[in-house]
Every structure is written in C-alpha cells, then in structure tokens.
Amino acid sequence: MSSISLLEDYEALPHDNVVLIEVAWEVANKVGGIYTVIQTKAKITTDEWGENYVLMGPYFEQNVRTQVELVEPMNPAIKRTIDLMNSKGCKVYFGRWLIEGNPCVILFDVAATSWNLDHWKAELWECCSIGIPWYDREANDAVLFGFLITWFLGEFDVDREAGERQIYHRYCMERAAVHCTHVFTTVSEITAVEAEHLLKSKPDVVTPNGLNLKKFSVMHEFQNLHSRSKMRIQEFIRGHFYGHLDFDLDKTVYFFIAGRYEFTNKGADVFLEALARLNYLLRAHQSAVTVIAFFIMPARTNNFNVESLKGQAIRKQLWDTANRVKEKFGSKLYESLLVGQLPDVNRMIDREDLTMMKRALYSTQRHSLPPVCTHNMLDDSTDPILNTIRRLSLFNHPNDRVKVIFHPEFLSSTSPLLPLDYEEFVRGCHLGVFPSYYEPWGYTPAECTVMGIPSISTNLSGFGCFMEEHITDPSAYGIYILDRRFKGLDECCNQLTSFLYSFCQQSRRQRIIQRNRTERLSDLLDWRYLGRYYTHARLLALAKAFPSNFSQDITRMSASFHYPQPNSPSSSFHSSPRYSESNDVRYNEEEEDEKDRKNIKLSSSMDLVPEQNKSLNDVLASSNYNIINHTIPASAMPTNPSSSTNPSKPSNPGSSTNPSSSTNPSKPSNPGSSTNPSSSTNPSKPSNPSSSTNPSKSSNPSSSTNPSKSPNPSSSTNPSKSPNPSSSTNPTKPANRSDASKPANPGDTSSPSNSTEARKSTPG
C-alpha cells in the first residue's frame, strides 16, 4: 500500500504547527446525528485550534455545491500531499465548510478511487483476515474511505487479533480501529460499557455530545414560542380531526417521538404499548385530558393521504367562511351604531349568510374515523407501526382519550399538511418521548431540553445516563429516565405509562414551572462546557504520541456532581389539574430561577486554556498546566444547613455512585424516585440520586398492576403518585452535595434579562 509520511514531516515542525485532524463520514454529508455533533462542535474547536483544525470526509458533489467553498490550502504540507495524491489518480478537494467557524475540510472522492477497491480488500484480508462481501456497499465505501485517509496520513497499523478471530467484518474493522488509536473515546458511559465488553478496550475519555446554544438561545421568550407553535399545531389538529373534534384543545397535550425509523431501537414499540395502557387509564378515570401522540419517522410513501389533505382544505374553507360572515356582521354593526341605534341581532345575519354557514357545516360531516397515517404507505400491510396500531386498536375513535398521528416524513415549513420546521414543532409540543433500547447519545431529548420541553429518555441512552449523573432528581427538571437496562419489557411499559399518566395529571401552571426548569439545564449541554472533554482527549493523545515533546501534566477529568432537587409549590402536591390552578405565594419562581442558575453554573472549555491568545506551543509545553484545575469556593456553594460537611475534607467528585447502577442489581430502584435529602449518608460520598434510602422499599411505578389488564383501576398503584417533577420533598431541605465537586463558571453570563415574568403568564 502506498503511503505518505505526513506526520513525520510534522515532527520537524514547531509545536504551534501541529494539526488536529478529525475524520468522519458525515463531514459536510448529513446522514444522522453525527452530522449535528460535528457541525455544532466546529465553532468551539476552531476557536481553540484555529487554522490547525482540519476535518476529513467524503466528497459528494450535491453536498459540496451548497455547503463547501473550495479553496487552495494554505498549509504547504497539506497542499503537497493533496497534489501528490491527485497526481496518482485520486480526487482530493480542499475547502471551507460553510458553517459557524468555517473549518477547513479535506474531502475524498470515494467513487473515483474504486479502481483500488479489490487491491485494498485483498490487503485487508492478508493483514487482518477480514473479508468484505462484494454486495455490502457501505462496507466497501468504508474500506475506500479508510484507505484514502490512511494514504493521506501515511500510517496504517491494524490489530491482527481482530482478523484471526474471523468475526463479522464490520465488527473486526471497528475493533481494529479502536486498538490502533492513541486515545479511544466514546460518547457516553453506556457506550463505554458496550465497548469494554465487545471491543475489549476501555475508553480513555468519555466525550458527551453537546449543542451550540446560540441556535436555540431565546432567553425568556421560549415560553411565548411554545404558545405560538402550539397554536399552529392546533390548527393542524382542527383539520385532521374535522367531524370528530369533540375534545377540548385547551385540555389537550401533545407527545411526540422522532428520529430514524428503527421501530425497536428507538422504542416506538414501547411507546405504542404505553399509549394503549394510558388510553385505558384516562378512560377508566374519566379524565378530561386528551393526548395526541405524533410519530415523526420517515418511511416509504408515495404521497399525502387524500383524507388528510381534505381535512386541511375543509378547515381553511371554514376559516374563510367565518371571516366573510364576520366582515359582513361587523359592517352592519358599524352602520347601526353610526345612526345611533342598537343593532337588531335577528337582522345582522341574513339568509345568505345562514345558507353559506350551513353549506360549510355540512361539509364537515364525516362517516369515517380520522386517519392514523397522514401519507399513503407503500408497505402498509407490513409496516410495524401501523400493524401495532391495528393490534392495539388505536384508531382515533371518539371514545379514545389517546389519539395517534403517524407522519412518515421529516417536517418542513413548506409542507401543505403540517407547515412547521422540526424546531418549531418541538417547541409546540408538551413532551418528547424517546424510550430507546439502543442510543449511544440521543440528540432528540437534548434538543428538547435546550428548547424547554420535557422529555423521556432511558438509562440505555447516553443522554439519560449523563443526566442521571449530573442531576439529583432528573424528573423534577422534566427529564424522565426510563429503566430499560434492568427491567423487563412489561415493567418498562408500566413505568412509561406511569410517567405519561403523571404528566397528564399536571396542571397548566405545573407544566410552565417544569418547562422553566428544563430550559435552565441548557448550559449543561453547551459545547462551551462539554468541549473540555475533547480538549482533554486531544492533550492526552499528543502526550501519548509525542511523550518527549508533550509532557504536560494530564489528569483525569471528573464531573460527578449533582444539582439539587428544586423547591416545589405546595399546590403541586395535588396532582389533579382541578385543585392546582391557584397561585401559591410561598413559591417564588424568580427565586427558584436564580437558585437553579447558580447551581447550574459551568466553566467554559476555553477556561482550560490559560489564555486564548497564547500560542499552542506555550499552552501545551507549560509544565504546570493541569486540565482540571478549577474549583469553586466553599462560600459560593449553597449548603444544607442540616448537614455537617467537613470543609477540610472535600469529597472526591469521582467517588459518587454510578447513577446507572443500583445497590441491588437484581432489584434496581426507580430512576425517578429521589433520595430523601435529610437522610443522606456520608456527604462526601453521595448516594445514587435515582435510588431511595432503602432500595427494598422504594416506590416503583413500574411494579404496579398492568393497567391494561386491571379490571379495577383504583386497585393498581396510582401512577399519579409516581415521581412528579413538581411534587418533590420538603422544599426547605434541598439535597446535599459535595462542595468540592461543583466547578465554578467565571464567565457565566446570566443577566437580569432572564426574567420569568413572561414565562409565568404564558399559556401551557
């Protein structure tokens, strides 16, 4: 295999010319969530590395035309390498990705190098005993892309053990890549466990995914955006359910699940089963709440459903008719008042108006149920979502309190059916449900969080594990963690049903309070904070690759601190909307907001570098540089007055109990149930926030009788007593946590403009 020793050239260069190269198939090529990771992380990485940060990805002409500006490389070593590869029959392009930060990209035309495929596959077989089938196009592209990257970097060394085992070729390729890295990283704790068992390699650093909060930053306006987007969703609902609009839209909550159409992996099967059980509970308790669940998953369709389009047309016709009658009514009312007479109501609407309104009313008559699917499916008889809906009889019947809408297409503001972008749609919903069985990270619940929308995740997703680790009571902040790791399928369905039913029992005021708390977690997902993990991984890689040149002190980062359980209004103890609309003067939302902002005060990843204007050589060569040299003064930490933490012996942040594991693995406690703050044990070793003090006596909502099989709903465990985010423990006793385990944020930009007055007055 031909190679170019590009890295050897760099060894002779000064340290400030070290180049950080990031390789990914989704560089300027949107396929899935990794595209969002790279796109949002580019700005903070470019700020840190400048022109020395280069991304490598595949070249696709249709993507490059709209996303990349092709330019000549400024780095002479990169230009020399590209010219040399192009002279040997490759097609390599250099440009700038037109995203925030404008990072440099090197793109490889995989198809133009397919003449080398057989040769490289033979070499892969000879070196590693990994055979690639001819029909596996994805694997073939991976081979071409990998060898082109190797060709460019001039270094290729695989672990021969992977080939000798003769395991499935993709698994072998991944394991070989892991064993050849200087630093192996994974996106979450759950994937770290997976890698340790399957790839036989423990990750050096866990690098969680973040978001560029500038995109979602609307400060206190997010509640108003929720109200406006919800009204637009309601317009769609009015058309979709014409003729059967016998439920109160003011008492309707909107749930949704979105992502790739992976029926089991994304948890659509569990969600549908829980919706059927929720429907039974709401009907049995004669609840006035209606739930509309959206499934936004792209599938094979040929066009919109005629019945769905007809519903929107009828809605528009009714709107136009009402406007015409309103204009004529207003004109007659105006003329009557001008002459000094009270209007005669019987003469305000004439026969023509009545005829027009009757014709519009007759057009709303419907002899069929509202459609479940908005499109014509190509594989209707074999579609897993539709087949499950048929099995559970969720057909949008008037008696059903749970309605289902399957939208098998990504949302777009140009759609004639539901003209909303995904971000607007999410803001208009009340709850995102993502009960994934496999999710390395999970961007959908993270996006919900930064937009102030509560969500349900699992402890088999990276996002769920991350939130369990950082928040004492995630459900109080609108982050419900479903236990899919230690519970069976039926128990998971019961627990999810409990979460959904508890959410339906919340009042409008409680939902507003919860959205405020959810939005305040945004800083936790900002790349300014999460970028520190990548900084640590890069410094560690340089120290391993060039120990003589990069011998700075690399210490292990730790962020195992917990945000305390928030205070709750006393009215929240009554979970029924009937009794919880009153205002409670004892609960001050502004004080709660200020307290949470102070608790969730995070250091920027750029704080890890002493001075941004300092050259990379000075930063990396500094002998006293420590990556986790950030602590918060004890005076700035709110402490529990009932605790007696010894300030001379701060707790070890890394010694906290892993929130994903319980005391008794065979009987894990419910992630939603919190520890009693007043009965915590050693403050330096906080207990698992998702478990109660006595695991054997914890209230587990998933252990209730199956609601779909219980003849007497009142005999089962009341789901409304499940961990309610607004019904926490004694508000005067916040959960105690270690003072030494919470980093400060010297650059915190919280301002008085984050007022909550606009939030409290916004409809839920």
The tens digit of pLDDT for each residue in 588-614 reads: 667 777 776 666 655 444 444 434 333
Distances (CA, A) of 529 to 219, 526, 533, 646, 748: 18, 6, 8, 28, 11
Measured in whole angstroms, the distance separating CA 251 from the mean position of its chain's CA atoms is: 26
The tens digit of pLDDT for each residue in 328-355 reads: 888 888 888 888 888 777 778 777 878 8
For residue 631, which phi and psi values (nearest 5 degrees)?
A: -130, 170
Contacts of 550 (CB under 8 A, 6+ apart): 15, 539, 542, 543, 620, 621
* pLDDT for residue 736 is more than 70: no
Which amino acid would we find at residue 239? Answer: G
The tens digit of pLDDT for each residue in 491-544 reads: 999 999 999 999 999 999 999 999 989 988 888 888 888 888 888 888 888 888
**What is the 8-class DSSP label of residue 205?**
E
Q: How far apart are CA 347 and CA 254, in angstroms?
A: 42
For residue 672, which phi and psi values (nearest 5 degrees)?
A: -80, -20
* pLDDT for residue 665 is more than 60: no
Say what the pLDDT of residue 378 is. Answer: 93
Q: How far apart are CA 498 and CA 495, in angstroms?
A: 5
Q: How confident is the model over 749-757, as a mean pLDDT?
A: 40
Strand residue runs (E) in 499-636: none
Say what the pLDDT of residue 746 is. Answer: 38
Say what the pLDDT of residue 628 is. Answer: 33
Q: How confident is the model over 642-663, as a mean pLDDT?
A: 38
Contacts of 236 (CB under 8 A, 6+ apart): 312, 417, 418
Lateral strand order in the sheet of 92-97: 20-23, 53-58, 104-108, 92-97, 68-70
pLDDT band at 1 (very low <50, low <70, confident <90, very high): very low
pLDDT band at 112 (very low <50, low <70, confident <90, very high): confident
More confident residue, 70 or 169: 70
More confident residue, 23 or 621: 23
* pLDDT for residue 66 is more than 90: no
Say what the pLDDT of residue 586 is. Answer: 55
The tens digit of pLDDT for each residue in 35-49 reads: 888 888 888 888 888
Which amino acid would we find at residue 546? Answer: F
Question: 185-186 and 205-206 as β-strands: parallel, antiparallel, unpaired?
Answer: parallel
Q: Which residue has the tokens 């090529």?
A: 29
Contacts of 202 (CB under 8 A, 6+ apart): 184, 192, 195, 196
pLDDT band at 154 (very low <50, low <70, confident <90, very high): low
Say what the pLDDT of residue 580 is. Answer: 39
Measured in whole angstroms, the distance separating CA 431 from the mean position of its chain's CA atoms is: 12
Q: How far apart are CA 180 and CA 370, in angstroms?
A: 56
Whether residue 669 contacts residue 702, with contact meaning beta carbons closer than 8 Å, is answered with no
Q: How far apart are CA 405 and CA 292, in angstroms?
A: 7
Q: How far apart are CA 230 and CA 224, in angstroms?
A: 10
Say what the pLDDT of residue 371 is. Answer: 94
* pLDDT for residue 638 is more than 70: no
Say what the pLDDT of residue 409 is. Answer: 93
For residue 280 the two structure tokens come to 């039974």
Q: For 151, left (φ over 0), alpha (ψ -120 to 50), or beta?
A: alpha
pTM: 0.59
**What is the 8-class DSSP label of residue 635?**
G
Task: Using a pLDDT cut of 70, give the percent of the chain over it.
Answer: 68
Say what the pLDDT of residue 238 is. Answer: 93
Contacts of 695 (CB under 8 A, 6+ apart): 662, 663, 664, 667, 668, 669
Say what the pLDDT of residue 119 is. Answer: 85
DSSP alpha helices (H): ranges in 92-221?
A: 117-128, 137-153, 160-164, 169-179, 189-198
More confident residue, 695 or 177: 177
pLDDT band at 213 (very low <50, low <70, confident <90, very high): confident
Say what the pLDDT of residue 2 is. Answer: 27
More confident residue, 566 or 676: 566
Distances (CA, A) of 463 to 467, 512, 582: 6, 23, 35
Say what the pLDDT of residue 616 is. Answer: 42
* Burial of residue 498 (number of CB atoms within 10 Å: 0-12, 13-18, 19+): buried
Say what the pLDDT of residue 515 is. Answer: 92
Report DSSP letters for 691-730, one per residue. Answer: S-SSGGG---GGGS--TTT-SSGGGS--GGGS--TTS-S-
* pLDDT for residue 578 is more than 80: no
Say what the pLDDT of residue 219 is. Answer: 55
Neighbours of 345 (CB within 10 A): 9
Report DSSP letters for 323-390, one per residue. Answer: HHHHHHHHHHHHHHHHTT----HHHHS-HHHHHHHHHHHHTT--SSPPPSBSEEETTTTT-HHHHHHH
For residue 550 the two structure tokens come to 């990069």
For residue 142 the two structure tokens come to 């991976």
The tens digit of pLDDT for each residue in 440-496 reads: 998 899 999 999 999 999 999 999 999 988 888 899 899 999 999 888 899 999 999
The tens digit of pLDDT for each residue in 373-417 reads: 999 999 999 999 999 999 999 999 999 999 999 999 999 999 999
For residue 3 the two structure tokens come to 């190679």
Q: What angle do CA 513, 515, 521 make, to 5 degrees?
A: 110
Q: How far apart are CA 218 and CA 227, in angstroms?
A: 14
Say what the pLDDT of residue 562 is. Answer: 55
Q: How far apart are CA 126 and CA 120, in angstroms?
A: 10
Q: Which residue has the tokens 């995914």?
A: 209
Q: How does the average pLDDT of the chain come out, rounded? A: 74
Say what the pLDDT of residue 168 is. Answer: 57
Which amino acid would we find at residue 177? Answer: A
* pLDDT for residue 433 is more than 90: yes
For residue 531 the two structure tokens come to 């970028």
Say what the pLDDT of residue 662 is. Answer: 39
Q: How far apart are CA 433 and CA 458, in angstroms?
A: 10
Distances (CA, A) of 757 to 1, 220, 517, 601: 66, 8, 14, 22
Say what the pLDDT of residue 17 is. Answer: 59
pLDDT band at 128 (very low <50, low <70, confident <90, very high): confident
Measured in whole angstroms, the distance separating CA 284 from the mean position of its chain's CA atoms is: 33
Distance in angstroms between the alpha carbons of the first and the last residue of the chain: 63
Q: How far apart are CA 98 and CA 100, in angstroms?
A: 7
Give exposure, 562-579, as e/b (b: 16+ Cβ within 10 Å).
bbbbbbbbebbebbebee
Q: How far apart are CA 88 and CA 165, in angstroms?
A: 35
- For 82-98, the three-class secondary structure string (H helix, E strand, C coil) is HHHHHHCCCCEEEEEEC
Q: Give, for 404, the enclosing helix (H) or strand (E).
A: strand 402-407
For residue 745 the two structure tokens come to 């944020």
Q: What is the C-alpha radius of gyration for the chain, rounded to an integer number of angstroms? A: 29
Q: For 566, how many CA atoms within 13 A lie in the half-sphere containing its CB?
A: 34
Query: Which of 227-241, 284-298, 545-559 is predicted least confidently?
Result: 545-559
Say what the pLDDT of residue 764 is. Answer: 58
Q: Is 555 helix (H, G, I), strand (E, B) or coil?
A: coil
